[in-house]
Chains A and B, each alone.
Chain A
Amino acid sequence: MQTSRGLVEVPPAQASIYAVARMQAEAGIRVARRLDPNWRPPTSLTSTIEGEIAHQRAVLRQAEQFVLSRRRGIGDNGGPPLEPDIPPRSLGELVAPEGRIIGIRAKGAQDRIRTISPEEMERIVLSLTYHGRPLKLHDRYQGVWYEGVDRCVVGIRFSESFGLTLDVRDPGGDRRFKELKLHMKGQ
């Protein structure tokens, strides 16, 4: 997979963890730079995937601290620093914000497989991972499970054939989303 240090070969589960960490770090950088275009994230010389994941998490932490320091006293609601940009959402609000499931169905494919835009993928992953919690389910899933704010359980994994993929393991009560699979367009 592509990291900030170039192409490295990593197990699928770690690739998924790295993808989440990187997406969160990039969101943190965006928010910090909106407050100060000159804000710079910490640098890293790591060459391992574990180091890359730790680095991306450090970037997020520093961005959050910077955002907090700027917002303190100007209407800060005490919530997570990036919450205004990454609001908490239920699974239904994320995958069917207007009632119908987002994305398009590939020709000849089942209707529980949807292809969504990179923007939609980022919106779902960030909300789910920033406000949810990672789960250790001790199964053989080749990605990482997250429990969302409405107790849904969604997996994030790298598929060699389809790229970043979301798997709805537990739809949190709405069977419409049971084992819904979302791929990102253009991978």
Chain B
Amino acid sequence: MRTDLTSRQTGTPILDWIEQIHTNIEDYDVTLGLITAAGISDFGLSGDDLVEFARRCLEKLMAVGAIPVLHEGNDYCPFVPTLRYGRKPEDIVENILASWQAGGGGVTGWGEYSFTMPENILPEWLERWEQGLPVDPEVH
């Protein structure tokens, strides 16, 4: 992947953009849809370069402690941590990339392949996820 690209919209260097990906989460989430849309429209990426860009963004999210979540929660917390893509960071990255590519590899929709930070998840759900246990918002 070329590392000398800058955003067509804002001039942000691509490596800075990747480095700051987690700041999108705030008190909500960030998704693969944002990453792929930016890769395509802001940096003009496609094919293997787009996959590599997505990979680096996901690795950054894992490095800061972000957790894959589903938008299947309740009024108190919309984000349910999921083990669908594994538990280890490297598994999560590879499984999400594989799932995304198997689905066509385009820009994904709202809430698909979503990540948030632990502080945005109900503590009891987080505890189960950290123990490798599934979370069912109707039960736990």
Q: Which residues of A contact B (CB under 8 A)?
A: 11-13, 100-101, 105, 108-113, 139-142, 153, 159-162, 167, 169-170, 175-176, 178-179, 181
The one of B12, B27, B34 that contacts A161, using a Cβ cutoff of 8 Å: B27
User: Whole-angstrom distance between the alpha carbons of A36 and B127 in the complex?
Assistant: 60
Q: Which residues of B contact A (CB under 8 A)?
A: 7, 9-10, 12, 17, 20-21, 23-24, 26-28, 30-31, 33-34, 37-38, 40-42, 71-75, 78, 107, 109-111
Q: Which residues of chain B are near A142, meaning CB under 8 Å? A: 75, 78
Q: Is the interface of B mostly helix, strand, loop or mixed?
A: loop
The one of B38, B71, B73, B107 that contacts A112, using a Cβ cutoff of 8 Å: B38
Q: Is the CB of B20 within 8 A of A110?
A: yes
Q: Is the CB of A11 within 8 A of B107?
A: no
Q: Which residues of chain A are near B75, meaning CB under 8 Å? A: 11-13, 142
CB distance from A140 to the nearest CB of B (A): 4
Q: Which of B26, B42, B73, B109 has the most CB of A within 10 A?
A: B26
Q: Is the CB of A139 within 8 A of B38?
A: no
Given contact pairs A178-B34, A181-B24, A111 touches B10 in the complex (Cβ within 8 A): yes
